[in-house]
Amino acid sequence: MKLEGIDPLHPSMFCVLTVAEVIGCRLRLHIDGYSECYDFWVNSDSADIRRQGWCKDNNHKLHPPKGEYRYETDFDWQHYLQSTGSHAAPPTLFTCRTSCGFSVGMKLEAVDRKNPGLVCVASLTDVIDDHFLVHFDNWDDTYDYWCDSSSPYIHPVGWCEEQGRPLTAPQGHLNPENFLWEEYLQQTGSTAAPSSAFTMRAPHGFQRNQKLEVVDRRNPMLIRVATVTDTEDYRIKVHYDGWSQQFDIWSDSDHFDLHPVGWCQCTGHPLEPPQGSSPTSPSQGV
């Protein structure tokens, strides 16, 4: 089946995708026209995937399969489905979503997830239902990320000043030490995202030693038995049971690769038992 979705390495881009593999309610997606090494796994209710035709109906640029077309505008879904002998994933398979109080162009203060010590001047460059794309002013899109209004990584204009924290000005700003929002909003003809739209979620309730089922970050086809070994307000440290601590990872507590105990059984996905644990007999149904 074919569909449209966000390229994980270029979060601002929508691409033509093919379902390459299905395990339980997880999908391995292939980006048409690109090497299999860019394939990635998502849950079937992911906000990052859309039905065929969504981009056109919602004014988003769809990047056609590489090499197929002389001009990007030559891409035509009907023709493509026919010539590849494939069909579109039915719209009913995609999850419906609600909207939010943010719009494209609004400015905010956001944590640079790749440099988490920095809170920076940022803009919303895309808004889809209840999710939006955070972009750092005058930086390339590799720092971009999608989030919703409850994210702990975004704050309204003025937050850093209020907190007595430094705010990283846009790249190339002439006077970065004395960045002034008022001036910048005027210069760029933009508005600040309204503070009422920010709905920061409460810290999670995970505790050390709790068990869970977690996608293996190195081999995302697999889900392993895991343990919470440390916590921060919005993140947990995950240990894969039976593996060296060197494979432990920090994960956002709302990451879609964390699942409760029993999730694999419930969704028909194999669960990798702790390495070195005694094999279970089929009668135990694991």
Binder of ligand MLY out of 120, 147, 157, 225 (CB under 6 A): 120
CA 112 to CA 122: how far, in whole Å? 9
Q: Which residue is nearest to ligand MLY (CB)?
A: 136
- Total of residues contacting ligand MLY (CB under 6 A): 8
Number of H helices, E strands in the chain: 5, 16
Part of the chain binding ligand MLY (CB under 6 A), chosen from 110-118, 192-200, 236-244, 247-255 = 110-118
For residue 163, what is the enclosing H or E element? helix 159-163
For 181, half-sphere exposure in the C-beta direction (CA atoms, 13 angstrom radius) is 18
Residue 198 binds to ligand MLY (criterion: CB under 6 A): no
CA 22 to CA 42: how far, in whole Å? 10
Tokens 């494209």, located at residue: 104
- We find the least distance from the C-beta atom of residue 180 to ligand MLY, in angstroms, to be 18
- We find the least distance from the C-beta atom of residue 172 to ligand MLY, in angstroms, to be 11
- We find the least distance from the C-beta atom of residue 110 to ligand MLY, in angstroms, to be 9
Tokens 């808004």, located at residue: 127
- We find the least distance from the C-beta atom of residue 107 to ligand MLY, in angstroms, to be 14
Binder of ligand MLY out of 58, 95, 115, 277 (CB under 6 A): 115
CA 239 to CA 245: how far, in whole Å? 7
Contacting ligand MLY within 130-149 (CB under 6 A):
136, 139, 143
Q: What is the chain's alpha carbon radius of gyration, rounded to the nearest angstrom?
A: 21
- We find the least distance from the C-beta atom of residue 138 to ligand MLY, in angstroms, to be 9
Tokens 């995609």, located at residue: 94
The residue ranges that bind ligand MLY (CB under 6 A) are: 112, 115, 118, 120, 136, 139, 143, 168
